């Protein structure tokens, strides 16, 4: 028999079985679907029953349904049934759900429960949504001036220097600090310049008062505007790549001087994503005013000195002290924890500055209540079509301080939907400047389907040509190579499904290239076996020598190709990255199938024979 370890045979068999299982969801195809979500809570089984009952009463067929991430997905036999279902739900359950058009896989429930999903398709194959946002760069410059305003006031306050006023002149992009006398001016200038050594100030007068002026130069304004656009791109990418949104292979890129273009493959209704993209969210931690009555303050409008009136999400008034313990810009991380002893929670981490403040506050206030205020800013158009920024503040958590803590703690008392969204917004960070939507375009699936058909035809014809060549030229060994090539495509599909990488049109080209590279590997092995046979070596020895001596050439060629693929993946974007991902994964699967899979099949076919007269190669 041909010597080959049994554990390697078992490994190949196990990998192939797992690969077939992971790739099998791609056989079921997709159907038109609707996604239903609630604003303040998760969709549960009772909602699914009620929705399906409503649709059944109106004669709308439902092909299947499932709950995922607090949302209900309903599949329908045709797009017309989906349209009818949307109208029925909107009329029968008005304002109860946010309804989004989508497509959903027809995989069986048991596969979905195991987390098995088909390969995601990119925008060029599947269609989707194309959004263009404009960055309010002027607001970014104003934010910079406001920051200087606050910094200068803090410097003067810490140095105990009296001053007349700190005024921001937005049209001229300058900040002016006025002082009451020459002595205050000298001390104030020294304090401000010590805290802001990189800035250039101008000594001037405003009326009879001495003044210190900072004016942004055109270069500083341009740098601030460029920073705002680039920072917003990073934040939008973080939000779109988060598991809470689960958008496959989103593409975010700058377009022009102050615009950002976003491609969202597979989405047909962008309402839910747009709701998250334009938001700027942060937290503030305040101590609760436990002496005054918040209901009386809400009714009379008389707010006690040093406090501010807030409301919870249930419209209950709460009086909080104006002093902020910790702000959202001191957060370094936030993650959603669905199952804790106190229910869903968001785990928060603070930087060193915030941790020190929180430690000092909890040491001094054990037994007292602290509240978390969620501040949500979003940009939207009003009835007149004008873009306005809306600010919403609400208390999302009140708790008694039971012990001392500093940089790590949890926010509880929230539902799963709120928790995921809060963790996402806090982790991704706040937008550097407000966004306004200037274009939304839905890309239909017809172009994508045409590209899919052409790409599949190219892959099928190319693969068949390779199959026929191998079978004719190498006979039975060629048939073994064909089986190995088919296994390579199955494993590559399984890996794409497992890692969640989106398959684009360039990705299909990479699949064809991978098949060609796998053919090359088999040709190197078989030609080496032929050389050994010509040298008079026995068939068994020729097989062993062919695989062993061809290994170095196959390994070297694949490693160099993998390096090129990794470089394309790291520095490329869009179509280039889609090609690189499939190429790198394909190299891994072709190495496995060509070296181990092919060797295993050869052993299964020829290893059990007592005597081999000749090899059909």
For the chain, the helix, strand and coil percentages under 3-state DSSP, each to the nearest 5: 50, 25, 25
Q: In what order do the strands lie in the sheet with 251-255?
A: 251-255, 259-265, 128-135, 435-443
In the structure encoding, which two tokens stand for residue 228, read together?
A: 């705002």
- The whole-angstrom separation of Cα 376 and Cα 390 is 8
Cα 312 to Cα 186, 200, 203, 315, distances in angstroms: 47, 45, 48, 5
- The whole-angstrom separation of Cα 493 and Cα 490 is 5
pLDDT mean by block of 10 residues, the chain; 617 residues: 73 91 88 76 79 90 83 87 88 78 82 84 74 84 82 84 87 88 89 82 86 87 86 77 58 83 72 66 82 90 88 88 78 73 77 82 88 73 60 81 79 70 63 75 62 73 83 86 88 88 80 84 86 82 83 85 87 76 90 86 74 73
- The whole-angstrom separation of Cα 223 and Cα 141 is 10
**pLDDT on residue 610:** 66
Biggest CA-to-CA distance, the chain: 111
Report whether 283 contacts 331 (CB < 8 A): yes
The dihedral through the CA atoms of 70, 68, 72, 129 has a sign that is: positive
**pLDDT on residue 386:** 59
Residue indicated by tokens 């609400």: 394
What value, to the nearest 5°, has the Cα angle with vertex 592 and ends 111 and 572? 80
Q: How many CB atoms lie within 10 A of CB 174?
A: 16
Report whether 297 contacts 309 (CB < 8 A): yes
What value, to the nearest 5°, has the Cα angle with vertex 562 and ends 561 and 564? 65
**pLDDT on residue 146:** 82
- The whole-angstrom separation of Cα 336 and Cα 403 is 22
**pLDDT on residue 532:** 83
- Which class for 604: exposed (0-12), middle (13-18), buried (19 or more C-beta within 10 A)? middle
**pLDDT on residue 466:** 81
Q: Name residue 36's beta-bridge partners.
A: 72, 99
SS3 222: helix
What value, to the nearest 5°, has the Cα angle with vertex 594 and ends 591 and 596? 90
Q: Name residue 324's beta-bridge partners.
A: 286
Return the closest-CA partner of residue 318 out of 289, 284, 291, 282. Answer: 289
- Which class for 335: exposed (0-12), middle (13-18), buried (19 or more C-beta within 10 A)? middle
**pLDDT on residue 608:** 63
Q: Which domains does the chain have, with CATH numbers?
A: 6-24+444-606 (1.20.1640.10), 29-106 (3.30.70.260), 137-221 (3.30.1360), 223-437 (3.30.1360.200)
- The whole-angstrom separation of Cα 386 and Cα 436 is 10
- The whole-angstrom separation of Cα 490 and Cα 23 is 6
| Full 3-state SS string of 374-399 | EEEEEEEECCCCCEEEEEEEEEEEEE
- The whole-angstrom separation of Cα 556 and Cα 23 is 29
- Phi, psi for 604 (deg, rounded to 5): -65, -40
């Amino acid at each position: 028999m041909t010597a080959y370890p049994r554990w390697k045979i078992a490994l190949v068999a196990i990998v192939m079985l797992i690969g077939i299982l992971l790739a099998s969801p791609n056989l079921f195809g997709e159907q038109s679907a609707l996604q239903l979500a609630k604003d303040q809570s998760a969709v549960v089984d009772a909602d699914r029953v009620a929705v399906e009952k409503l649709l059944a009463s109106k004669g709308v067929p439902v092909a299947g349904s499932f709950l995922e991430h607090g949302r209900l997905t309903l599949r329908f036999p045709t797009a017309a049934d989906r349209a009818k279902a949307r109208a029925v739900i909107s009329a029968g359950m008005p304002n109860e759900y946010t309804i989004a058009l989508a497509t959903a896989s027809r995989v069986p429930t048991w596969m979905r429960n195991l987390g098995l999903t088909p390969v995601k398709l990119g925008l060029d194959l599947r269609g989707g949504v194309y959004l263009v946002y404009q960055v309010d760069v002027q607001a970014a410059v104003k934010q910079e001036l406001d920051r200087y305003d606050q910094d200068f006031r803090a410097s003067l306050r810490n140095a105990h220097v009296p001053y007349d006023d700190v005024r921001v002149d937005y049209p001229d992009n300058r900040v002016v600090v006025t002082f009451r006398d020459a002595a205050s001016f000298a001390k104030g200038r020294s304090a401000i310049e010590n805290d802001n050594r990189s800035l250039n100030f101008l000594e001037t007068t405003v009326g009879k008062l001495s003044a210190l002026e900072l004016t942004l130069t055109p270069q500083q304004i341009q740098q601030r505007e460029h920073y705002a656009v680039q920072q917003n791109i990073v934040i939008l990418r973080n939000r779109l790549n988060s598991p809470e949104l689960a958008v496959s292979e989103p593409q975010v890129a700058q377009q022009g001087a102050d615009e950002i273009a976003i491609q969202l493959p597979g989405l047909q209704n962008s309402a839910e994503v747009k709701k998250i993209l334009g938001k700027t969210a942060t937290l503030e931690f305040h101590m609760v005013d436990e002496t005054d009555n918040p209901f009386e303050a809400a009714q009379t409008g008389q707010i006690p000195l040093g406090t501010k009136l807030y409301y919870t999400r249930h419209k209950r008034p709460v009086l909080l002290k104006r002093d902020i313990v910790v702000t959202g810009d001191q957060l370094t991380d936030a993650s959603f924890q669905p199952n804790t002893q106190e229910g869903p929670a968001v785990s928060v981490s603070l930087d060193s500055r915030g941790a020190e403040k929180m430690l000092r506050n909890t040491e001094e206030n054990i037994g007292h209540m602290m509240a978390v205020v969620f501040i949500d800013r979003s940009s939207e158009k009003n009835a007149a079509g004008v873009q306005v920024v809306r600010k919403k503040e609400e208390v999302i958590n009140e708790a008694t301080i039971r012990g001392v803590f500093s940089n790590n703690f949890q926010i509880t008392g929230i539902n799963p939907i709120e928790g995921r969204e809060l963790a996402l917004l806090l982790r991704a960070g706040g937008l550097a400047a407000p966004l306004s939507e200037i274009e939304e375009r839905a890309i239909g699936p017809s172009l994508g389907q045409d590209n899919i058909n052409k790409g599949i035809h190219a892959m099928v014809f190319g693969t068949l040509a390779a199959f026929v060549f191998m079978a004719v030229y190498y006979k039975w060994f060629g048939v073994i190579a064909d089986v190995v090539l088919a296994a390579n495509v199955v494993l590559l599909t399984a890996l794409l499904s497992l890692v969640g990488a989106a398959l684009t049109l360039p990705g299909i080209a990479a699949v064809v290239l991978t098949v060609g590279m796998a053919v090359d590997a088999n040709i190197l092995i078989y030609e080496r076996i032929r050389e050994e046979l010509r040298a008079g070596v026995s068939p068994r020895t020729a097989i062993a020598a062919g695989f062993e001596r061809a290994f170095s050439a196959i390994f070297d060629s694949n490693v160099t190709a993998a390096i090129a693929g990794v470089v394309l993946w790291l520095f490329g974007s869009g179509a280039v990255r889609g090609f690189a991902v499939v190429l790198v994964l394909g190299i891994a699967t072709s190495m496995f199938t060509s070296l181990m899979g092919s060797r295993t099949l050869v052993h299964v076919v020829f290893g059990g024979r007592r005597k081999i007269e000749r090899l059909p190669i």
